[in-house]
Amino acid sequence: MISRRSLFGAFVALSVATTAAHAQTITLRSADIHPDGYPTVGAVKYFGQLLEQRTNGRIKVQVFPSQQLGQEKDTIDQTRFGVIDLNRINMAPFNNLIPETFVPALPFIFKSVVHMRAVMDGPIGDEILKAFEPHGLVALAFYDSGARSFYNSKRPINTPADMKGLKIRVQQSDLFIDLVKALGANATPMPAGEVYSAIQTGVVDGAENNWPSYDSFRHAEVAKFYSKTEHSMSPEVFVMSKISYDKLSPDDQKLIRQAAKDSVGKMRELWEAREKTSEAKVRAAGSQVNEVDKQAFIDAMKPVYDKYVTNPKLKDMVARIQATN
């Protein structure tokens, strides 16, 4: 952590250069743990292209993929402190910091992708985006992340009983720890970058993720049993450091917000294509995929709602999501 900080001490976020051609060129640095070619990286690059076009090259975005700026939790702090300007990250690592963020990650809260998009594109999504601001972050847009399912190296999971005793890696979020515990498995929180070797060496038996991440992190090589629980649709979020944002003019802030909104459609296009190719790829490589008894999982997750959806504000939000078509 300390060495990473000092490494980034060399970086000055939101670099501003004055050139003959442009009054002031601003380069915004953006973090992603996924590699180049992954849909989230593609969407942020597209956002950068839009900004560059709309400002005649005055604002540029430089994406650092493949965990170059650190694991997700480290990059949250760096973004809040203005060391990183932009960050594409999953909602889960924000769960402990910002209670509103766990609502869309709740097990089975969404009936379908269409339902998830209707909620996240509407006023509830806006409320969740606004909840980042007191924490030094301007949340610009949500990106799709499909549905997360369990996979492991031991056996197919058909009912919650099959989860008993399995060691499952989860994201660094108490909600996900409790979600796995509710199924009788043992939860081990760890950053995404450590999961492949943790499964390979038997530190954990498996994890949970969507098709593109199961494929891209190469977890399919070490955990062949992919069971379609589809228990969480925890979306991705694209955030900006409030420190970096506040340095921009109101007009540039508007351009940033608009370009981020305009990148959502691109993300969805890239995502839908990648979900299909990743699923086909892991199946062809020998992953054993099965459907599960979904209702049994829905019933087993009830204690998670009882524990987390406690205050009136969150209860109301959950009720409004359930009432959205």
Judged by CB under 6 A, which of 210, 232, 244, 263 binds ligand GTR?
Answer: 210
Residue 59: CB minimum distance to ligand GTR, A: 25
User: Would you give the binding string for ligand GTR spanning residues 106-145, x where CB under 6 A is met?
Assistant: ---------------------------------------x
Would you say how long the chain is, in residues?
Answer: 325
Phi and psi at residue 92, in whole multiples of 5°?
-55, -45
- Taking the least distance from each CB to ligand GTR, the nearer of 48 and 235 is 235
Q: Which of residues 90-109 bind ligand GTR (CB under 6 A)?
A: 90, 92
Would you give the end-to-end CA distance of the chain in angstroms? 44
Which burial class, exposed, middle or buried, applies to 58 when counting CB atoms under 10 A from its CB (0-12, 13-18, 19+)?
A: middle
Residue tagged 């995929």 (tokens):
289
Judged by CB under 6 A, which of 209, 229, 263, 278 binds ligand GTR?
Answer: 209
**If binding is defined by CB under 6 A, does position 67 make contact with ligand GTR?**
no
C-alpha separations of 181 from 166, 171, 185, 248 in Å: 10, 13, 5, 45
Q: Are 166 and 208 in contact (CB under 8 A)?
A: no
**If binding is defined by CB under 6 A, does position 192 make contact with ligand GTR?**
yes
Smallest CA-to-CA distance from 192 within 70, 288, 13, 310 is with 70
Q: Are 246 and 100 in contact (CB under 8 A)?
A: no
Region near ligand GTR per CB under 6 A, out of 61-69, 205-213, 265-273, 274-282: 205-213
Q: Are 100 and 317 in contact (CB under 8 A)?
A: yes
Residue 9: CB minimum distance to ligand GTR, A: 25
Region near ligand GTR per CB under 6 A, out of 62-70, 88-96, 119-127, 154-162: 88-96
Applying CB under 6 A, the site for ligand GTR has a residue count of 12
Residues 6+ apart with CB under 8 A from 97: 76, 135
**If binding is defined by CB under 6 A, does position 236 make contact with ligand GTR?**
yes
- Taking the least distance from each CB to ligand GTR, the nearer of 55 and 125 is 125
* Site residues (vs ligand GTR, CB under 6 A): 33, 72, 89-90, 92, 145, 171, 192, 209-210, 213, 236
